[in-house]
Amino acid sequence: MSLTPRQRSLRAQIAAHESWANTDDRSERTAKARKANHQRFERQIREQFPDLDDAEVAVRAEHAKKAHYLRMALASAKARAAKKAARQAGAA
């Protein structure tokens, strides 16, 4: 049986929700990914500033992470505004 893209998407969403419903410790399940994400920013800071001590690397890595997520939020807001403007232009 061949599924449409929408049906495949729904099937994947069902599986994801069932998986999370059966997860006892969400924090433990995502710990490895969170650690890898933070290490990515620490590595970036260490490459840019190799002489910094660990404490300063941690502070700067946290700022780099916040800047990254704020850039993504800004891009998302711009995309939503552009989509809204396109819908409004199409309706006119």
For the segment 54-74, what is each residue's pLDDT rounded down to a tens digit?
A: 999 999 999 999 999 999 999
Q: What is the pLDDT of residues 37-47, one digit of tens each?
A: 999 999 999 99
Domain housing 32: 5-91
User: Model pTM?
Assistant: 0.71
- How far is the C-alpha of 77 from the C-alpha of 88, rounded, in Å? 16
Helix, coil or strand: residue 5: helix
What is residue 90's predicted lDDT score, i.e. its pLDDT?
85
Q: What are phi and psi of 31, to 5 degrees?
A: -60, -45
Say which residue, 20 or 91, is predicted with more confidence. 20
| Greatest extent of the chain over all pairs of C-alpha atoms, in Å | 60
Tally of domains within the chain: 1
What is residue 1's predicted lDDT score, i.e. its pLDDT?
75
Residue 85: pLDDT above 80?
Answer: yes
